Amino acid sequence: MLDLYTDATPNGLKISIALEEMGLVYNTHQVFLGGEQSTPEFTAMNPNQKIPVLVDDGLVVTESGAILMYLAEKTGRFLPTEARARAATVEALMFQMGSLGPMFGQYLVFAAAWGNKFPPVTKRYFSEVSRILSVLNTRLEGQDYIAGDEFTIADMAVAPWIRLLVVHPACSTLPLDENANLKRWWARVSERPAVQKGLMNPEPFAPKKQFEGFVTAVVGLGELHATS
């Protein structure tokens, strides 16, 4: 049995999508990011105190990109074996891990957690996320999915982040309509039943609690990482 320790964040939901797409049976353990990731039990699984964490019969895997690759290799699905297609998929996954996720995350910190207290910084990350969205739009020119014509773990990694453009108030002005290829990709991916199911597992805590956890975990703002 697979055990997923996670929350309703983009990095967590990408694993839920993968597990649903792969048809795997798993238990979901929702972690409140206002402090539960700092418990001795969770820290023993991941000293970095971040979700998601996957436990497969005693084997612990952390880092969402590594978990996606582990699951793809475990099932033999959604990660091509042909060299060019595999390289394109891994490249696109690393682009999400190294660019889209970190920059989008910083935008949310300054636009939401910090309440746009520092407008020039918010603008910097807004501009960078906008640029990254245009890169994804270019990647999608002439193909249905992020890494080519097949749905892969790269699409699973990107989907929860693009979803923020249509569900998160702080993201509503980011340029989705201006990136037609990306908008069509999102419409295509969001219609997949397994994606829909994965995006709802786990369901977020009540809005006030979910936001509290987000703010608490922000380094330099929340008390979770406060130093004496």
* 98 and 50 within one domain: no
- Are 23 and 123 within one domain? no
Q: DSSP letters along the chain, please? A: -EEEEE-SSHHHHHHHHHHHHTT--EEEEE--TTTGGGSHHHHHH-TT--S-EEEETTEEEESHHHHHHHHHHHHT-SS--SHHHHHHHHHHHHHIIIIIHHHHHHHHIIIIITTTSSHHHHHHHHHHHHHHHHHHHHHTTTSSBTTBSS--HHHHHHHHHHHHHHH-GGGTTSSSTT-HHHHHHHHHHHT-HHHHHHTTSSPPPPHHHHHHHHHHHSTTTSGGG---
89 with 184, same domain: the answer is yes
Dist CA 157 CA 147 (whole Å) = 12
CATH number at residue 48: 3.40.30.10
- 73, 135: one domain: no
- Is the domain of 20 the same as that of 57? yes
Q: Same domain for 15 and 50?
A: yes
Same domain, residue pair 31 and 90: no
- pLDDT band at residue 225 using 50, 70 and 90 as cut-offs: confident
pLDDT tens for each residue of 153-199: 999 999 999 999 999 999 999 999 999 999 999 999 999 999 999 99
Q: Looking at the 3D structure of the chain, how many domains does it have?
A: 2
CA 128/CA 227 separation, integer angstroms = 30
Do 96 and 180 fall within a single domain?
yes
Looking at the structure, tell me whether residues 154 and 168 fall in a common domain: yes
Q: Does 132 have pLDDT greater than 80?
A: yes
**pLDDT single digits (tens) 23-60:** 999 999 999 999 999 999 999 999 999 999 999 999 99
Q: In what order do the strands lie in the sheet with 26-30?
A: 26-30, 2-6, 53-56, 59-62
pTM above 0.85, yes or no: yes
pLDDT at 34: 94
Range of the domain at 160: 83-191
Domain shared by 25 and 125, yes or no: no
**What is the residue whose two structure tokens read 């069509």?**
184
Read off the pLDDT of residues 195-218 as tens digits, 9 standing for 90 and up: 999 999 999 999 999 999 998 888
Is 130's pLDDT higher than 60?
A: yes
Based on the fold, state whether residues 107 and 206 are members of the same structural domain. Answer: no
- Give the C-alpha separation, 155 to 133, whole Å: 14
Give the per-residue pLDDT at 221. Answer: 84
Angle CA(224)–CA(171)–CA(225) in degrees, nearest 5? 10
Task: Clarify whether residues 100 and 17 are in a common domain.
Answer: no
What would the pLDDT profile of 51-84 be if each residue is shown by its tens digit? Answer: 999 999 999 999 999 999 999 999 999 999 999 9
Query: Distance between CA 158 and CA 152 in Å, rounded?
Result: 10
Q: What is the CATH number of the domain that holds 122?
A: 1.20.1050.10
What local confidence, expressed as pLDDT, does residue 227 receive?
58
